Amino acid sequence: MSVGLPPKDYAELAKEGKVQVIGVPVQNDLVFVDMNVKIAPFDNQKVREAVSYAIPYKEIIESALYDRAKPMFDGDPSKPYPEGVWPVPIRHGQDLDKAKQLLTEAGFPNGFKTTLSFDLSEATVREPTAILIQEALKKIGVDIELEKVPGSNWFAQMASKTMPMVIAEFYGWLDYPDYFFFWTFDGKNNSVFDTCNYVNPDLDKLIDTARFTRDLTVYKETLGKMVDIVMTELPRIPLYTRFADYAMQKDVHGFEYWFHTHPDFRKLYKG
């Protein structure tokens, strides 16, 4: 068994017929672009919306991930977000004209300069993602400098809340949306994972309600309000849910997905 190969290698090995590749979307996982709402110009919601329309979602999935991820874009704008579900796809794809229009409305017709940071220990997929975003935003006048943060420094950088834009990820072993929200959006908690530096007292109250209610109806209704807030104010742009990929010889059987994303070797057998 080989675990942890780059997506390109998985795809090539499978195409050559040398292995079987099992890919399972990681539960409660989201890879995203965070914009620090305490740093200009990302304190402007229209700027954040403009960036969301400029992201080359499809190219990221195809070129950086080799389709080894669940897309989190092109949601149906005519339908409400699914009840009790997180993460949810953003309701559009790339639209550079719309992005440029929003940027002009925000007061930045000529764009602006900023930095986009990513964890160098995840460079296999994060660096090509960052480059694709850099190239796309340049088309609407946004000049991005890429900051490659060594993995040993990444959590300290996250905790500093000083990065204007980041490519980051969070997934919870507890597969509950309120768990994700508590650790990445809750202003009172203000954890290291809140790299968008987002604080919304109304959202915090809803998170508390969702965490402690025993009424399933109340939970789903509250979660719906939580999702609407963050997907409207957009401090975070969803990109994809990554796959837990496992490449195995074709005669290996018995694989089961585990929430911690590590295979249970006790169940594997040849046959």
Domain ranges of the chain: 26-240
234 against 9, higher pLDDT: 234
Q: Mapped to the 3 state alphabet, what secondary structure does the chain carry? A: CEECCCHHHHHHHHHCCCCEEEEEECCCEEEEEEECCCCCCCCCHHHHHHHHHHCCHHHHHHHHCCCCEEECCCCCCCCCCCCCCCCCCCCCCCCHHHHHHHHHHCCCCCCEEEEEEEEHHHHHHHHHHHHHHHHHHHCCCEEEEEEEECHHHHHHHHHHCCCCEEEEEEECCCCCHHHHHHHHCCCCCCCCCCCCCCCCHHHHHHHHHHHHCCCHHHHHHHHHHHHHHHHHHCCEEEEEEEEEEEEECCCEECCCCCCCCCCCHHHCEEC
Nearest to 181 by CA among 141, 138, 235, 135: 235
Tell me the per-residue pLDDT of 141-165, one tens digit each, with 9 for 90 and over: 999 999 999 999 999 999 999 999 9
pLDDT attached to residue 2: 37
Contacts of 221 (CB under 8 A, 6+ apart): none
Contacts of 77 (CB under 8 A, 6+ apart): 91, 92
Of 75-79, 102-106, 173-177, where does the model show the most confidence?
102-106
CB atoms within 10 A of CB 57: 24
Asked if 56 and 132 touch (Cβ cutoff 8 Å), the reply is: yes
Tell me the per-residue pLDDT of 36-73, one tens digit each, with 9 for 90 and over: 999 999 999 999 999 999 999 999 999 999 899 999 99
pLDDT attached to residue 266: 87
Mean pLDDT of 228-248: 94
Residue 166 identity: V
Reported pTM: 0.89
Backbone angles phi, psi at 107, to 5 degrees: 95, 15
Architecture of domain 26-240: Roll (3.10)
- Residue 89, both tokens: 């796809």
Backbone angles phi, psi at 32, to 5 degrees: -150, 170
pLDDT attached to residue 8: 58
